[in-house]
Chain A
Amino acid sequence: MKILVPVKRVADPNVRISVAADGSGVDLTKLRMAMNPFDEIAVEEAVRLRESGTATEVIAVSIGGPKCVDTLRSALATGVDRALHITTDADLEPLAVASILTTVAEDLSPDLILMGKQAANGENGQTGQMLAAKLGWPQATFASKIEASDGTLTVTREVDQGLETIEVDLPCVVTTDLCLNAPRFAAVSAILKAKKAPIEERAAENLGMQLSPRLRTLSVGETSQDRANIKVTSVGELLEALAKTHGLLK
């Protein structure tokens, strides 16, 4: 089984972001960047599938500017076999990313595309399903468990009602939820080795597709969290305030 893992470089979600005062967007200049956490889980799962002998090759792909190489190197350090960088300076929407990945998948013919269910910056949660649609493949979103057998995957999905287990034929697209695994910390030796590993490069512009934006961001604002922050000192005082002011827990 050959696995393709798309990885995205995003602002480290553990760092507080700041919104530009003119409403133009989030100021990324000083932020620490990292691999999207859901993609880290996808990389880890793919590498485990290869380590267990289920997969024969794992290829990571990232789309974006020169710094995406860092993200690909961390995928290499975790244990992927090959890395492909699709270069572009454009800030691509999920539909454009799905279009590029469709071309990459047609070229590399993976049996499985394993990717994060959403990215920690745009929070769209669209790319995997769009990609599956464009390829005409089955999809298994929000995966918390993956078991491979001959030509099929059994995937447990995290849905609102609890867990759902489905069986999907390969090739397919699987998107990862947080529970799937706990990504490893790469060994120093693996990180050093990844630094020297070759990274294949292709320009998005040469893939011959229309990548024009379909959405326009008009403004970006800070989310307001205006709350009273009233200090109470006991459960009794709390219950009284909730009952008197809000009519709650009477």
Chain B
Amino acid sequence: MTVLVIAEHDNGVVADATLRAVTAAGQLGGDVTVLVAGQACAHAATAAARMSGVAQVLCADGPSLGLFLAEPLAELVATMVAGQLQSRTETFEAIVCAANTFGKNLLPRIAGLMDLGMVSDVIAIKSANTFVRPIYAGNAEATVECMEPIKLISVRPTVFDPAPESGGSAEVVSIDAPPPWTRTRLVQRAEQNSARPDLSSAKIVLSGGRGMQSNENFVILDRIAARLGAAVGGTRAAVDAGFLPNELQVGQTGKVVAPDLYMAFGISGAIQHLAGIKDSKVIVAINTDENAPIMAAADYCLVVDAAEVLVDLDAALGKLGSGEA
């Protein structure tokens, strides 16, 4: 059995989420093949070939793949599998992608082209055809059997460890890039503007909600995050109030996080927010309302105004940093 993992990369470096998808693919049993599709992406292909647990790398390199658009990429994968079926060679038995915006955009399009059912956002692999996934904003978990001959699954990156980036020596095989796709054009791709670590891979995440009450408090939160090398996030309410840009929204409908420490400042704990943080190792809730749902979902609860705690924490960490403590 062979499992295909579609890599997310920037032509040079393979994304952390893909390393995690490789681990998930390995749990299905069988050999793992990684597809690296891009333009001038030889470096990324070499990096993929060095990963532990990768048996083969397919490298499709061409101008049609330069923007990583779903349309030509899906065409490439569907055509490749159709070719396997036609030549009666062994087909991939599963196609795996990380359930981040890259994979969420791409994999259902492949499923549509191939007319295959798909399993989204897998959080546990029970067997080669049985998977666990969250439903109802994470309020419930369904165990689902996929009856398709080729299983298409997107896996939640935070629940799988990254595959080691070295130790492998897979063969890199070149395949043809698809014809150009001209009906979608890139206008602008915003660079990641934050000096902070990425929310989905940060060891510590400090998040603020409506209870933060002001931009000034988010400035303090940001300062504390800088001291700790932490990422800053927030709730839907904080985004709506203009405290944070939308891409920093934590939750089932935003970014799913799983840091070692998640600190929730002035967050009440909407269901979809809790669903997005539940894999965090330690959760601290700071809120004036001791009956807020976040309290029941936390390891440590501090029933105090978040703004007050920010000042104390800033001071305490300042002392720690200067060695006075």
Contacts and interface: CB of A to CB of B under 8 A. Distances in A.
A129 B313 contact: no
B135 A216 contact: no
B302 A129 contact: no
A227 B101 contact: no
A225 B146 contact: no
A172 B26 CA distance: 36
- Range for the number of chain B residues in contact with chain A: 35 or more
Contacts of A129: 70, 105-109, 111-112
A26 B252 contact: no
B42 interface: no
Contacts of A139: 70-71, 105, 109, 184
Interface string A18-31: 01000000100000
A26 B142 CA distance: 10
B183 A95 contact: no
A133 B283 contact: no
A243 to B, nearest CB: 9
B109 A132 contact: yes
A125 to B, nearest CB: 5
B266 to A, nearest CB: 15
A123 B121 contact: yes
Contact of A223 (B70, B141, B317): B141
Nearest to B75: A133
Contact of B140 (A125, A134, A141, A221): A221
Interface string B302-322: 110000010011001100100
B276 to A, nearest CB: 12
B135 A121 contact: yes
A205 interface: no
Given A217-B142, A217-B144, A223-B139, A130 B301 contact: no
B179 to A, nearest CB: 13
A238 B204 CA distance: 15
A132 B112 contact: yes
A248 B260 contact: yes
A81 interface: no
B301 A242 contact: no
Contact of A133 (B113, B136, B271): B113
A137 B138 CA distance: 31
Interface stretch (A45-53, A107-115, A161-169): A161-169
- Range for the number of chain A residues in contact with chain B: 35 or more
A238 B185 CA distance: 51
Contacts of B316: 235-236, 239
B185 A219 contact: no
A94 interface: yes
Given A13-B271, A138-B71, A215-B119, A162 B299 contact: no
Main secondary structure of the interface of A (DSSP, over half): mixed
Interface stretch (A55-63, A152-160, A183-191, A193-201): A152-160
A233 interface: yes
A234 B143 CA distance: 42
Interface string B131-172: 001111111111111111000000000000000000000000
B116 A95 contact: yes
Nearest to A132: B109
Interface stretch (B57-65, B80-88, B188-196, B210-218): B188-196
Contacts of B200: 160
Contacts of B253: 118, 178
Contacts of B146: 214-215
A95 B111 contact: yes
Contact of A215 (B121, B144, B186): B144
B296 interface: yes
B141 to A, nearest CB: 5
Contact of A163 (B148, B247, B272, B299): B247
A160 B255 contact: yes
B300 A232 contact: yes
B43 interface: no
11 contacts: A17-B136, A120-B136, A123-B134, A129-B107, A159-B247, A214-B116, A214-B148, A227-B283, A227-B296, A234-B312, A235-B316
Give the 10 A-B residue pairs with the shortest CB-CB distance, closest first.
A214-B117, A133-B112, A130-B112, A129-B108, A126-B108, A235-B312, A162-B190, A165-B187, A169-B183, A159-B101
Given A162-B247, A213-B117, A220-B141, 9 more contacts: A120-B137, A160-B101, A160-B255, A161-B192, A165-B186, A165-B187, A215-B144, A230-B299, A246-B281
